[in-house]
Structure 1
Amino acid sequence: MKKLLLTLIFPSMLCAQVGIGTTNPLSDLHIAGDTSTIRIESLNAVNDPANNDGIKPSPAYVTALGDVTLDPNIGNGIGTGGNLSPINFLMTIPNFIPDGATNKGSIINNTTLETNKTGLFSIVPFTSPQAALIEVKYSVTTILSSTDLNTVMTPFNDISTRAIKYYFSIDLNNDGLDAVESSKKYGLNGQFYSSHSQGILGYSFTNGHGYTNIPPGNHSLHFFAEIVDGETKFTSVGIGGYSDTLKIRIYN
Structure 2
Amino acid sequence: MKKFILPLLFPTILTAQVGIGTSNPTADLHVAGNTSTIRIEQLNATNDPTHNDGVKPSPAFVTALGDVTLNPSGANGTGPGGIMAPINFLMTIPNFIPDGATNRGVVINNTTLETSKTGLVRIVPFTSPQEALVEVKYSITTILSSTDLNTALTYFDDISTRAIKYYFCIDINNDGLSPAEAAKKYGLNGQFYSSHTQGILGYSFTNGHGYSNIPPGNHSLHFFAVVVDADNKYTSIGVGGQTDSLKIRIYN
Task: For residue 191 of structure 1, give the secondary structure of its aligned residue in structure 2.
Answer: strand
Q: Find the counterpart in structure 2 of residue 192 from structure 1.
A: 192
Percent of residue pairs bearing the same amino acid type: 71
Q: Find the counterpart in structure 2 of residue 122 from structure 1.
A: 122
Task: For residue 97 of structure 2, give the secondary structure of its aligned residue in structure 1.
Answer: coil
Task: For residue 137 of structure 2, give the secondary structure of its aligned residue in structure 1.
Answer: strand
- 2:160 equivalent to 1:160: yes
Instruction: Give the RMSD, CA atoms, in angstroms.
Output: 2.7
| Shift in Å, 1:178 | 0.3
Task: For residue 99 of structure 1, give the secondary structure of its aligned residue in structure 2.
Answer: coil
Q: TM-score, normalised by structure 1?
A: 0.68
| Shift in Å, 1:114 | 0.6
- Gapped regions of structure 1 (runs ≥ 5): 1-15, 18-23, 29-61, 73-82
1:92-123 Cα shifts (integer Å, max 9, x gaps): 11011122232211110001111100000011
1:21-170 correspondence runs (5 A)? 27=36, 63-65=45-47, 86-88=85-87, 89-170=89-170
Q: Find the counterpart in structure 1 of residue 208 from structure 2.
A: 208
CA distance in 1, matches of 2:99, 2:121: 11
CA distance in 2, matches of 1:25, 1:225: 48
Task: For residue 138 of structure 1, give the secondary structure of its aligned residue in structure 2.
Answer: strand
Q: Which has the larger radius of gyration?
A: 2
1:105-143 Cα shifts (integer Å, max 9, x gaps): 111000111110000001100000000000110001110
* Residues 27/108 of structure 1: CA separation in 2 closer, same or farther (3 Å cut): same
Q: Find the counterpart in structure 2 of residue 39 from structure 1.
A: none
- 2:160 equivalent to 1:178: no
Letter in 1 for 2:91: M
1:141-166 Cα shifts (integer Å, max 9, x gaps): 11000001111100000000000010
CA distance in 2, matches of 1:64, 1:91: 30
CA distance in 2, matches of 1:241, 1:27: 46
Q: Find the counterpart in structure 1 of residue 66 from structure 2.
A: none
* Residues 171/87 of structure 1: CA separation in 2 closer, same or farther (3 Å cut): farther
- Gapped regions of structure 2 (runs ≥ 5): 1-19, 22-32, 38-43, 57-81
Q: TM-score, normalised by structure 2?
A: 0.68
Contact 1:87 1:250 in 2 (8 A): no
Contact 2:138 2:247 in 1 (8 A): yes
Letter in 1 for 2:151: T
- 2:220 equivalent to 1:220: yes
Letter in 1 for 2:136: V
CA distance in 2, matches of 1:122, 1:87: 29
Letter in 2 for 1:155: Y
Letter in 1 for 2:45: T
CA distance in 1, matches of 2:103, 2:112: 24
CA distance in 1, matches of 2:114, 2:222: 23
* Residues 71/143 of structure 1: CA separation in 2 closer, same or farther (3 Å cut): closer
1:179-223 Cα shifts (integer Å, max 9, x gaps): 000000000000000001121101111000100100000000000
CA distance in 2, matches of 1:154, 1:71: 55
CA distance in 2, matches of 1:140, 1:210: 14
CA distance in 1, matches of 2:35, 2:94: 37
